[in-house]
Every structure is written in structure tokens, then in C-alpha cells.
Amino acid sequence: MANRRKMKCDCGTYLKEKETEIEHILTKAMVCPTCTFTTLTKDQAKEFRIRLEFHKAIDQERQVIKVGNSMGITLPEKLHEFGVNIGTKVKIEAIDQKSFRVEIR
Ligand SMILES: [Zn+2]
């Protein structure tokens, strides 16, 4: 993250680093506060590619299964590549009545 030089938009305003949505993926990008022009630095593009791969690995429809007396959802094998293994701790948090998020600890 040594790349701290200021980038100027064609409209004359300096771009600001901001979490923004690109192809439905939330990622850091350089955004013009005036005209919303958006571009990625080399590091941001690298990060975006990793997030894109993560979405490809996790975004899918799954079925709730029975695990002993509990309910479970299996996770795709590809998550190993992102450091998720048997025993990995996760935090489950409700978002609304129909969704919850699972955060890898
Ligand atoms: Zn601009």
C-alpha cells in the first residue's frame, strides 16, 4: 500500500479511495467525488480479483441438511484456498428475517 500518490480525474477533482460496488462485488477503488468516475490501482485490482474468486467459490444455492440433531449447510471444497478448514471458527450474525452472514474468524 505504498502507492499513495494522488490521482486526478479528467474533471479536475482528486480521486478518493472508497469501498464501492463493481460487478456486484464490494471492493476498494479510486472514485471521483464529483463525477463518480471509478478506477482501480494495481493493488486494488489484485484485491478485486481475489474477492471475485471468493464470490465464485461461495455464491450458490445450498440446501439445509440434517447433522445429528442440528441443521447444517455444507461449504464448498474451494474454500480451503481461502483458509477455511475443519475447525475454523466462524461468527454467525443475523441480517434480517431471511438472511444471515457467516464471518470467517
Ligand atoms: Zn471526475
Ligand 1 geometric centre to CA of 8 (Å): 8
Residues 43 and 73 in one domain: no
Residue range(s) defining the domain that contains residue 94: 65-104
Residues 51 and 33 in one domain: yes
Tell me: the pLDDT tens digits for 21-39? 998 899 999 999 999 999 9
Residues 48 and 26 in one domain: yes
Residues 77 and 95 in one domain: yes
Ligand 1 geometric centre to CA of 16 (Å): 10
Residues 40 and 70 in one domain: no
The rounded distance, in Å, linking the Cα atoms of 70 and 59 is 23
> Is residue 3 scored above 60 in pLDDT?
no
Ligand 1 geometric centre to CA of 40 (Å): 14
Instruction: Please check whether residue 97 lies inside any domain of the structure.
Output: yes
Name residues with Cβ closer than 5 Å to ligand 1, which is an ion: 9, 11, 13, 32, 34-35, 37
Instruction: Please check whether residue 8 lies inside any domain of the structure.
Output: no
What pTM, to 2 d.p., does this model score?
Answer: 0.70
Ligand 1 geometric centre to CA of 26 (Å): 21
CA angle 58, 59, 60 (to 5 degrees): 105
Tell me: the pLDDT tens digits for 40-91? 999 999 999 999 999 999 999 999 999 999 999 999 999 999 999 999 999 9
Which amino acid makes up residue 87? G
Instruction: Please check whether residue 27 lies inside any domain of the structure.
Output: yes
- Find all residues with CB under 8 Å of 50, minimum gap 6, and list them: none
